[in-house]
Structure 1
C-alpha cells in the first residue's frame, strides 16, 4: 500500500448522486434576456415562478429585457457634482457676494481693522 491511504481517490460527499437520493428536480423553463449591447442571457426559472421584467446582464452589467428587438436602454449616469456645484444650485451669485461681504465684515471687526 503506497502512502498508507486506504480511501484513495474519494472525498467527503463523493459518490453516485442521482434523483433517488436528491429527489426529483422541479420543472423549469429557460427565459432569454437581451441587453442593449446585444448579449443574450438564458436564465432558468421554476415553471410556476414569476419571471422578472428586467435582469442584469452578467457580461456588461446593463439591464436586460425579454424583447430582443427593443432591449431596455442603459441607465443615464449623472456626472459627479462638487460641493460648489450644489451651492450654486441653491444660491445666486448676488447671494454669494452678500454672504462673502458679511463674513469679511465680521473678520475685519474681530481684527480691529
Structure 2
C-alpha cells in the first residue's frame, strides 16, 4: 500500500499543471482614485465592462474610475415595512377594533400560551368552602 502513496505532495491545493502553451486572455489595467487622493489599479479582461466604482482591496473604501464620468444616481425606493403593508389592507379604526377583541380573548384565557393564564379554581375547593 505504501508503494502506491503519492510522495512529495503537500496537503491543500497545489497545481501540478504546467503553463507551457497557455495563452493568457488580453488584459487591461484600470485605475481608480480614492476620496483621499490615493489611487490603485485593478487588472480586468480587455472586453470586460469597467464599473464606475470599485472597492479598494487594502482600505475597503470605494474608489472612482480615474478618467470616468460621474455615475448615474438611481432613485432608491423606500422599503415597504410590515406596517405599510398592513395599512394598505386595514384602516386605523379597524386595527384598533381587532386589537380590542384579541386583548379581551387573551385576558379571558381563550387564546395565548397556557403558562400566562391564571389557573382556574378547582370545583372541589369551592365545594369544601360552601359545606
TM-score by length of structure 2 reads 0.38
| Relative contact order, higher structure (CA 8 A, sep 6+) | 1
Q: Which has the larger radius of gyration?
A: 2
